[in-house]
Amino acid sequence: MSKSLLGAALLLAASCAGAAGAPPAADAALIQQGRYLSVIGGCNDCHTPGFGLTGGKVPEAQWLLGDKLGFSGPWGTTYPANVRLRLATMDLAAFKTYARALTTRPPMPYWALNTMSDHDLEALYAFVKSLGTAGDAAPAALPPGVQPKGPVVTFPGPPPAAATAQR
């Protein structure tokens, strides 16, 4: 390889590396919008361990990794998914279809994803992808009546009919 060819190859490699490290401005704006949605949409409150208890002071590298803190109620026990792993196998089109049709057990506000505009879904997707994959999948959900092994937030059962009779 001639010197100039080698130089060109090195330059190309360097610019590719640069592109991977710092996204272009348009992508950066989209990612920033996704970061904003993750915070104001409350996604971190359940999907980022410790987020709610530290006033949101969890390094971004640990966001949306899912949690072993379960939610128990009449539906059994559910665990906030590792969103980064959940989205890993989806391209943008698949994610949009998924987000529009998603239903889950409580207390995941799936209607928030169902309702997001195209642009917001693109932003959320870009942000989650920018975090990369990390961590493990959340524990599998447990059916009603199965005692969870770890800590849970317990939702009260439906109120007795007497408590609501006067409404």
Interface residue list for ligand HEC (CB under 6 A): 41-43, 45-47, 71, 78-81, 83, 86, 104-105, 107-109, 112-113, 141
Shortest distance (Å) from residue 112 CB to ligand HEC:
4
Q: Which is nearer to ligand HEC, 7 or 149 (CB)?
A: 149
CA distance 17 to 82: 28
Nearer to ligand HEC, 24 or 85 (CB): 85
SS3 24: coil
Q: Judged by CB, which is closer to ligand HEC: 23, or 139?
A: 139
- Min separation Cβ 79 and ligand HEC, Å: 6
Question: Minimal distance in Å, beta carbon 48 to ligand HEC?
Answer: 10
- As measured in angstroms, the least distance from the Cβ of 20 to ligand HEC is 25
Residue 154 carries which side chain, given as an amino acid letter? T
CB 92 within 8 A of CB 122: yes
- Bridge partner list, 152: 70
Q: In 33-135, at which residue ranges do the beta strands (DSSP E only) sit?
A: 70-73, 76-78
Cα 28 to Cα 31: distance, rounded to the nearest angstrom: 5
30/108 with CB nearer ligand HEC: 108
Distance between CA atoms of 10 and 83, rounded to whole angstroms? 36
